């Protein structure tokens, strides 16, 4: 039975990846950082099936102890300061965790067991002010936030350790992916939570920033499968993972409100507080390499994703108000 270690198991992707790996018979170890209250909501349903270990990407010795004790065959590095706006207000912390944290983990793998297969969670935010449409593995990076800059570092250090030390280090350049487990501050979930609150009479409006930004949105459950596939190949490589479609934030509002029988124009208020110092205007993937080499294709489309998220938020808020 192979063992996989997931950093960021309490996050959206970590929880879906843990579900997937357990279904494939893996022993799953999840690294969590110390907090004063537990953050296990997304993994509550599998808490008895995974081993939880305390560790932090800031702290190299905790990483060494973890790899020595659990001896994983695969390590998925999903932990990060992942919210783009916070990367301006906490730029140094974002660099420490999202960029240097990758080196700490790679150095640990190199010294403890260089045979470990390593997955790095790279991001379409690295394309930023896009140099090419659609974006592929060969599109040059032009990050537009401290988060994007940190992810470029994480991406290149992964490539560099692969080339310098012959590690099996793969990097998935994932475009935005969402789900009912998405953090409430990200725009899709903020919208579907807002729709549910308005529908249930708990809120009157929803304040958003730039409605014209366009994103290539897919379903997180589909994307974790691509992560696993990358580590099952004969050789490590980089892959763009996305749907190949793009939609403005405004359209996500239209579909989500419309599904609940509401017109978004009656409720959405544009608020400059949610605008960013520099914006990523348009992201759209070309996932042809993933389809060709990994045999990966997304299963959930844009409309199904928005509706799944509205359904889940309506159910959650209804249950909370009973």
Residues that bind ligand F7E (CB under 6 A): 82, 84, 123-125, 175-176, 185-187, 190, 208-210, 213, 215, 249, 274, 276, 279-280
Provide DSSP, 22-48. Answer: HHTT-EEEEEE---SS---GGGGGGTT
Tell me the C-alpha distance between 236 and 227, whole Å: 12
The residue from 3, 20, 22, 33 that contacts ligand NAP (CB under 6 A) is: 33
Determine phi and psi for 287, rounding to 5 degrees: -90, 30
* Least distance between ligand NAP and beta carbon 135 (Å): 13
Q: Interface with ligand NAP includes 81 (CB under 6 A)? A: yes
Say which of 26, 147, 161, 264 is annotated catalytic.
Answer: 147
Pick what 208 binds: ligand NAP, ligand F7E, none; C-beta below 5 to 8 Å, kind-dependent.
ligand F7E
Kindly provide the residue ranges of all beta strands, DSSP E only, lying in 132-190, ordered along the sequence.
168-174, 177-178
Partner touching 303 among ligand F7E, ligand NAP, none, CB below 5 to 8 Å by kind: none
Among positions 1-30, residues that touch ligand NAP (CB under 6 A) are: 7-8, 10-14
CA-to-CA distance for 65 and 60, rounded, in angstroms? 9
Which residues, 6+ apart, have CB-to-CB distance to 98 below 8 Å? 80, 81, 82, 87, 147, 150, 151, 154
> What is the rounded (10 degree) CA torsion for 73, 218, 282, 208?
-110
- The token duo for 227 is 């992560």
Regarding 82 and contact with ligand NAP (CB under 6 A), the answer is: yes
Longest dimension (CA), the chain: 58
Q: How many CA atoms lie within 13 A of 271 on its CB side?
A: 9
x/- map, 94-133, ligand NAP, by CB under 6 A? ---x-----------------------x-x----------
The Cα angle at residue 33 between residues 31 and 34, in degrees rounded to 5: 135
Question: Between 153 and 186, whose beta carbon lies closer to ligand F7E?
Answer: 186
Strand partners, 52: 30
- Residue 249 contact partner, candidates ligand F7E, ligand NAP, none, CB within 5 to 8 A by sort of partner: ligand F7E
Name which of ligand F7E, ligand NAP, none residue 13 binds, using a CB cut-off of 5 to 8 Å depending on partner kind. ligand NAP
Query: Among 116, 152, 174, 249, which residue sits at the site for ligand NAP (rule: CB under 6 A)?
Result: 174
Question: Which residue of the chain is nearest ligand F7E when measured via CB?
Answer: 213
Element (H, E) at 256: helix 249-259
Instruction: Candidates 2, 46, 56, 311: give the one binding ligand NAP (CB under 6 A).
Output: 56
Smallest separation, CB 266 to ligand NAP (Å): 29
Contact present, 88 and 277 (Cβ < 8 Å): yes
Q: 135: which strand partners?
A: 285
With CB under 6 A, what is the number of residues at the site for ligand NAP?
A: 25
178 CB contacts (<8 Å, ≥6 apart)?
186, 188, 189, 217, 218, 219, 220, 305, 309
147 catalytic? Reply is yes
Give the shortest CB-286-to-ligand NAP separation in angstroms.
16
Rounded Cα–Cα distance for residues 38 and 174 (Å)? 28
Q: Which stretch binds ligand NAP (CB under 6 A): 78-86, 130-138, 258-266, 295-303?
A: 78-86
Nearest to 52 by CA among 24, 18, 99: 18
Contact between 79 and ligand NAP by CB under 6 A: the answer reads yes
Binding residue (CB under 6 A) for ligand NAP from 50, 57, 240, 253: 57
Catalytic positions, please? Answer: 123, 125, 147
Contact footprint for ligand NAP (CB under 6 A): 7-8, 10-14, 33, 35, 39, 56-58, 78-82, 97, 121, 123, 174, 176-177, 183
């Amino acid at each position: 039975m192979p063992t996989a270690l997931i950093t960021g198991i309490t996050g959206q992707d970590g929880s879906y990846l843990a579900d997937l790996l357990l279904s494939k018979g893996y022993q799953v170890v999840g690294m969590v950082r110390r907090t004063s209250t537990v953050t296990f909501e997304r993994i509550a349903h599998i808490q008895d099936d995974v081993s939880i270990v305390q560790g932090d990407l800031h702290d190299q010795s905790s990483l060494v102890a973890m790899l020595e004790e659990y001896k994983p065959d695969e390590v998925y590095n999903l932990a990060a300061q992942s919210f783009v706006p916070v990367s301006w207000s906490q730029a140094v912390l974002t660099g420490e965790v999202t960029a240097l944290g990758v080196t700490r983990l790679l150095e640990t793998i190199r010294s403890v067991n260089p045979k470990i297969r390593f997955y790095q969670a790279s991001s379409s935010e690295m394309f930023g002010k896009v140099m090419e449409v659609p974006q592929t593995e060969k599109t040059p990076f032009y990050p537009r936030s401290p988060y994007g800059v940190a992810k470029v570092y994480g991406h290149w250090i992964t490539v560099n350790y692969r080339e310098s030390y012959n590690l099996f280090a793969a990097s998935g350049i994932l475009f935005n992916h969402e789900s009912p487990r998405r953090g409430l501050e990200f725009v899709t979930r903020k919208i579907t939570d807002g729709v549910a609150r308005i529908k249930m009479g708990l809120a009157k409006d929803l304040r958003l920033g730039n409605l014209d930004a366009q994103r290539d949105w897919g379903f997180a459950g589909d994307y974790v499968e691509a992560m696993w596939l990358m580590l099952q190949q004969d050789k490590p490589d980089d892959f763009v993972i996305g749907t190949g479609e793009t939609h403005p934030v405004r359209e996500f509002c239209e579909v989500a409100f419309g599904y609940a029988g509401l017109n978004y124009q009656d409720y959405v208020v544009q608020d400059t507080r949610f605008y960013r110092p520099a914006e990523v205007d348009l992201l759209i993937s070309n996932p042809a390499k993933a389809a060709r080499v990994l045999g990966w294709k997304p299963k959930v489309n844009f409309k199904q994703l928005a509706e799944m998220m509205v359904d889940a938020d309506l159910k959650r808020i209804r249950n909370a108000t009973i």
